């Protein structure tokens, strides 16, 4: 539970594409694409059309092999990324300058962020000899959406928020699934997006598209999402970096 008194003003929705999965690359995974899209908390809370948004999208030469499966999913290969900048101190400065343009407090939002995006980003930052603004907050939307999903019967059924009633009608199983009456509810971002919006995600594993799906899911929950973030956000500086030989998130 957060002890902060100042409410989050901006959310910085984040997604990374990478050379592969850390578990298959001995935690030596590199970033190939990064998207950050910033939206004011009040616009997420109201669920209104989110016209005002600021974006940063960068692709990188990872200076290591992009795994074939990753290329298949993201469309990014070593050939395509050959002339892109590697992830350097200049990149960290660019991210800091971009975030510092936004009104604080600001909170990063990434799906499965605690076990994927944040440790990988932290490793790139440490490798390049930089730091992010020490006041940057972060939250994992996977944990948030799980919590809000199971609070829904008590707190949200009478709400005027338009939330899909198809929560239990999925058969897809993944590592983030939770058993409910002998069924499993998928908390993959694409599955959450389908449940909440009744739309099919078309460009999954493209950083900007995945961020857009995340924003739309957060907007459906509206003030419930914002309240959860204010109660549970933590400092990005507390996130452990990804290290070879060490379990991510520890």
Dihedral sign (CA 185, 232, 139, 107): positive
So what's the pLDDT on residue 153?
Answer: 44
Range of the domain at 128: 10-238
Predicted confidence band of residue 156 (pLDDT cuts 50, 70, 90): low
Percentage, residues of the chain above pLDDT 90: 76
Of the two residues 151 and 132, the one the predictor is more confident about is: 132
Residue 245 domain flag:
no
The count of structural domains within the chain is 1
Q: In what order do the strands lie in the sheet with 54-59?
A: 54-59, 31-40, 10-18, 106-110, 137-140, 234-235
Residue 244 domain flag:
no
Residue 207 domain flag:
yes
Residue 1 domain flag:
no
d(CA 51, CA 242): 35
So what's the pLDDT on residue 204?
Answer: 76
So what's the pLDDT on residue 216?
Answer: 94
For the stretch 197-208, pLDDT in tens is 999 988 777 999
Residue 2 domain flag:
no
Residue 39 domain flag:
yes
d(CA 2, CA 122): 22
Mean pLDDT value of segment 193-198: 93
So what's the pLDDT on residue 47?
Answer: 80
H or E stretch at 110: strand 106-110
So what's the pLDDT on residue 171?
Answer: 29
**CA angle, 211 as apex, 170 and 132 as ends, to 5°?**
130
Q: Quick check: 159 pLDDT over 60?
A: no
d(CA 46, CA 223): 7
Residue 4 domain flag:
no
CATH number of the domain to which 128 belongs: 3.30.420.10
d(CA 195, CA 186): 10
Residue 247 domain flag:
no
């Amino acid at each position: 539970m957060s002890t902060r008194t100042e409410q989050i003003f901006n959310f910085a929705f984040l997604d990374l594409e990478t050379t592969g999965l850390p578990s298959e690359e001995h935690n030596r995974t590199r970033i190939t694409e990064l998207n950050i899209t910033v939206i004011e908390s009040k616009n997420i809370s109201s669920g209104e059309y989110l016209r005002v948004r600021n974006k940063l999208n960068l692709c990188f030469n990872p200076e290591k092999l992009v795994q074939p499966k990753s290329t298949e999913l993201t469309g990014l290969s070593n050939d395509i990324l050959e002339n892109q900048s590697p992830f350097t101190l200049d990149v960290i400065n660019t991210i800091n300058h971009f975030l510092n343009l936004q009104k604080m407090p600001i909170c990063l939002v990434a799906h499965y962020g605690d076990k994927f995006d944040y440790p990988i980003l932290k490793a790139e930052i440490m490798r390049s000899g930089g730091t992010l603004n020490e006041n940057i907050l972060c939250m994992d939307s996977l944990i948030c959406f799980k919590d809000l999903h199971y609070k829904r019967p008590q707190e949200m059924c009478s709400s005027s928020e338009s939330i899909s009633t198809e929560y239990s009608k999925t058969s897809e199983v993944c590592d983030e699934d939770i058993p409910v009456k002998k069924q499993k509810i998928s908390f993959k971002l694409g599955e959450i997006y389908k449940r909440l919006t009744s739309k099919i995600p078309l460009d999954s594993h493209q950083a900007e598209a995945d961020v857009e799906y995340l924003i739309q899911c957060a907007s459906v929950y509206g003030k419930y999402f914002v309240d959860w973030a204010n109660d549970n956000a933590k400092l990005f500086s507390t996130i452990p970096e990804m290290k070879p030989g060490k379990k991510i998130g520890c």
